[in-house]
Chains A and B, each alone.
Chain A
Amino acid sequence: MKYIDEYRDGSLAKDVARQITALADPARSYHFMEFCGGHTHAISRYGLEDLLPANVRMIHGPGCPVCVLPIGRIDAAIALAMRPEITLCTYGDLMRVPGSNGSSLLKAKAAGADIRMVYSTLDALQIGEAEPDREVVFFAIGFETTTPTTALALKAAIARGLGNFSIFCNHVLTPAAIQNILESPDVRKLGTIKIDGFIGPAHVSTVIGTEPYEFFAEEFRKPVVVAGFEPLDVIQAILMLVRQVSDGRHEVENQYIRAVTALGNEKAQAEVANFFELRESFEWRGLGEVPYGALRLRPQYAAYDAEKRFSMVTPAAKDNPACECGAILRGVKKPADCKLFGTVCTPDTPMGSCMVSSEGACAAHWAYGRFREKVRQVDARRAVA
């Protein structure tokens, strides 16, 4: 597959990793956080951590919109879907996200709620058009990558005069979250983790560009390398980060130049700005309240805003106290540190959000990492025996 396979060349990745080892100062350690779940997935899947020298470590950040959606928003969506007049359209990723007391959209659907999985906002629009007697609500979720597609659906719904279509908006913003990771009070409570640089979001940046990350580079003196999701992209980004650290630089660099520019997709940004505005504060699962961390519909589109139209309330809901998602999303703990990991909590029976999406840190570790750890343990035992 063009633009995929050539960035998966394993022997090339090993060679780049050798250069990372050559360049990294053995007297110090390097901690880089990859923000995106897509990177977390690539790192686990291709075993990139095994290629890196021991003093270069990756911290898995919060970057999966499904993983950071607070439980209260799932509960609110379930409550809405249970109303007889409502058809709730949702991306498949959301179906198994646990709400309160073991509930989920999947279980609500089994109990009779009209919940339909869609691949695209276009499908949700089509359902709205085909079934004018239903109230069709699109459960919108995602980072800056996905927001423009919701904006266009709204634009089309207005243009076609679709009075039975509305949006439950859960779009969140990545720069706000990175800032929160670096400076919120919870970070101090959970224990700080040293971060020497960030791998910046790939597809988010196709939309917003690399420019919004300049602030971190300047303000927090952290290098940011925006990188693609293939293994060679990630390993090259790590080399670029190590190089910046050894040069004493903290700049925004773009590894994913084949699809990302400094300013991003301005057409998409304009569509988003037409329909959405900042929320002063929004709860992220694992990060708590993130100031200006999310978007809502502008007041003039209240008729299309499911929260207003159906007077939705977001109940305060608590995560399972044993779930370590909060610390994992901030890079303070690893999936294996959670008591529930792999016992009570598996991809089939997720307790926390990190286990739900395949891009979540726990799911990625479950799918790939735990076997590698076993292999390493066996190797280590053999080595000492």
Chain B
Amino acid sequence: MCLAIPVQVKELLPDDMAKVTLDGVSKIVSTALVDDVKVGDYVVLHVGYALAKIDPEEAERTLALIREAAMGDAA
């Protein structure tokens, strides 16, 4: 029920709406809850609304941390 998915913004539309795609499927959603959405941004989409932007640098950092953890800095 609270599941949301990352989708990419392809086009900004009037009234805080945007066209987004996921795996080639496009959808019109509301961006009214998130400021400064730009074409090319990834947003977390939940029941027709963008809830947050995905920060590409933090996403990379998380993966780097996971790789580090996998190599055993934990031990």
**B residues near A232, Cβ cutoff 8 Å:** 66
**B residues near A58, Cβ cutoff 8 Å:** none
The 0/1 profile, CB within 8 Å of B marked 1, for residues 116-158 of chain A is 0001111100000000000000000111011011001000000
B56: nearest chain-A partner, CB-CB: A258
A15-B70, A152-B32 given as contacts; is B52 within 8 A of A259 (CB)?
yes
- B interface, by DSSP: helix, strand, loop or mixed? mixed
Interface pairs (25), CB distance under 8 Å = A2-B6, A3-B59, A4-B5, A6-B63, A15-B71, A16-B69, A18-B70, A20-B74, A22-B72, A36-B2, A37-B2, A120-B47, A120-B48, A143-B2, A146-B1, A148-B33, A152-B49, A207-B52, A243-B74, A257-B58, A257-B62, A258-B56, A259-B44, A267-B34, A268-B33
Would B8 and A203 count as touching, CB distance under 8 A? Answer: no
Would B74 and A145 count as touching, CB distance under 8 A? Answer: no
Would A145 and B59 count as touching, CB distance under 8 A? Answer: no
Q: CA–CA, A110 to B24, complex, Å?
A: 35
Q: CA–CA, A119 to B46, complex, Å?
A: 10
Binding site for A on B (CB under 8 A): 1-6, 8, 22-23, 29-30, 32-35, 42, 44, 46-49, 51-56, 58-59, 61-63, 65-67, 69-75
Binding site for B on A (CB under 8 A): 1-4, 6-7, 12, 15-16, 18-20, 22-23, 36-38, 41, 63-66, 91, 93, 119-123, 141-143, 145-146, 148-149, 152, 201-204, 206-207, 229, 232-233, 236, 239, 243, 255-260, 265, 267-268, 271, 357, 359
Would A146 and B54 count as touching, CB distance under 8 A? Answer: no
Would B74 and A66 count as touching, CB distance under 8 A? Answer: no
Q: CA–CA, A141 to B2, complex, Å?
A: 10
CB distance from B59 to the nearest CB of A (A): 4
**B residues near A65, Cβ cutoff 8 Å:** 1-2
Q: CA–CA, A91 to B2, complex, Å?
A: 12
Would B42 and A1 count as touching, CB distance under 8 A? Answer: no
CB distance from A21 to the nearest CB of B (A): 10
A243-B74, A257-B58, A259-B55 given as contacts; is B4 within 8 A of A206 (CB)?
yes
Would B58 and A258 count as touching, CB distance under 8 A? Answer: yes
Contacting residue for A239 out of B42, B63, B74, CB 8 A: B74
CB distance from A13 to the nearest CB of B (A): 8
